[in-house]
Amino acid sequence: MLAERGAVLLGAAWRRGWEPADLARLVRRDLRPAHSLRYAALVRDETRRYARLAPRWTAQLAELDAGDAGDGARGDRFSAAAEAVELFRLLFRVPAIEPVGPPPGSPPTAPLPTDDRELSRVRALLAKAEATAYPAEAEALSAKAQELMTRHRIDAARLAGAVTGPGDGVAARRIGVEQPYGEAWAILLDAVARASGCRAVWNEEHGFSTVVGEAANLAAVELLHTSLLVQAHSALTRAEAEARAAGRRRTKTFRQSFLLAYADHVGARLEATAAATVTESAGPEVLPVLAARDVAVTEATERMFPKTKAARVRGISDEAGWLRGREAASRADLDHQPLRRLRSESGGGAPGGASPAR
């Protein structure tokens, strides 16, 4: 009986636009580890009913299996029933959100175009950036990855400009942006997306950003953003260790300011790299195609999110953290650029330049 009820609620959540990874983040945030085990088991049982799943869903299920291994049947019967009811309550209450792909059981669609060879080159550069202990080297490798991504976008526009329309291939995917320090991660993802010809809209309440862009660019955006998160955490760990060695106490405000500075400065460098690559490599026949594709992505974003609001990010209250974050982001002498304004889904940000609602 409980299993049947869970399957009904899970299927309803999927039809309201949610994907397995989206719900997994909510369960981790709002409930307990035992609920995550139960949720993973419920998803596995339900997806076995379908002969085929979209590649994105298959990848998310693999992550669930890796992170929440187990059958979900832990504890006594009373505890198990209580956990199930709490999980079902969460599934019942999730609102409808913008779909980014068909739910299971939908007719098969043509696969979205990707370039696995190019992604492999980007992935290799980012792996080196994550492994190095030198911030300047990590910055250079990440910038090189962004350059490769931009050159690939230019080449794709050059080849396809005369064959496909500017809106062909525009898709969307959701990327987790979780607390703490969600503002910094959202800023970083926004910059990575824009540097790659995409747009990002942050939903703070539900812990994700939706990235809209050409399908071939979405995987690269997620790959680079994930790598930069790893690099940011490594840089912060080094900064805190140095502060402790010097006898200085580092606080949450230091970490918040550090990560906001890191995200803002790295984002500015990525955008500058992308702009320079376009100027250098895109001939006059390609620029109109890139512009048309940029307009198509913007229009698709506005159709998906017609009621977005801009919100200023707060939290820069530790000067030492801000300066160390900028230093970690780049050793180069760049002019300071103010924090960009985030686009936040309606209801997720306060008007009038206030910080996003919590």
- Contact present, 344 and 202 (Cβ < 8 Å): yes
Domain total of the chain: 2
Which neighbouring-strand residues pair with 214? 170
254, 207: one domain: yes
What does the pLDDT profile of the chain (358 residues) look like in tens digits?
A: 788 999 999 999 999 999 999 999 999 999 999 999 999 999 999 999 998 888 889 999 999 876 655 554 556 788 899 999 999 999 999 999 999 988 887 766 655 555 667 778 887 888 888 888 877 788 788 888 888 888 877 777 766 654 445 556 799 999 999 888 899 999 999 999 999 999 999 999 999 999 999 888 998 899 899 999 888 888 888 888 887 787 777 678 888 899 999 888 888 888 888 889 888 887 777 888 888 889 999 999 999 999 888 877 766 778 888 888 888 776 422 233 333 334 444 444 333 333 333 3
pLDDT digits (tens, 9 = 90+) for 25-80: 999 999 999 999 999 999 999 999 998 888 889 999 999 876 655 554 556 788 89
CA torsion through residues 287, 293, 299, 301, sign: negative
Going along 224-352, which residue ranges are E strands?
309-311, 342-344
71, 186: one domain: no
18, 133: one domain: no
261, 136: one domain: yes
User: Rounded CA gap, 77 and 183, in Å?
Assistant: 41
Is the backbone of residue 73 left (phi > 0), alpha (psi -120 to 50) or beta?
A: beta
Compute φ and ψ for 79, nearest 5 degrees. -65, -40
pLDDT digits (tens, 9 = 90+) for 241-275: 887 787 777 678 888 899 999 888 888 888 888 88
Which residue's structure tokens are 């994105």? 56
- Contact present, 296 and 164 (Cβ < 8 Å): no
51, 137: one domain: no
Domain that holds residue 64: 2-93
Residue 103 lies inside a defined structural domain of this protein:
no
Residue 336 lies inside a defined structural domain of this protein:
yes
User: Rounded CA gap, 358 and 337, in Å?
Assistant: 26
Listed residues 93, 128, 158: the one ending a domain = 93
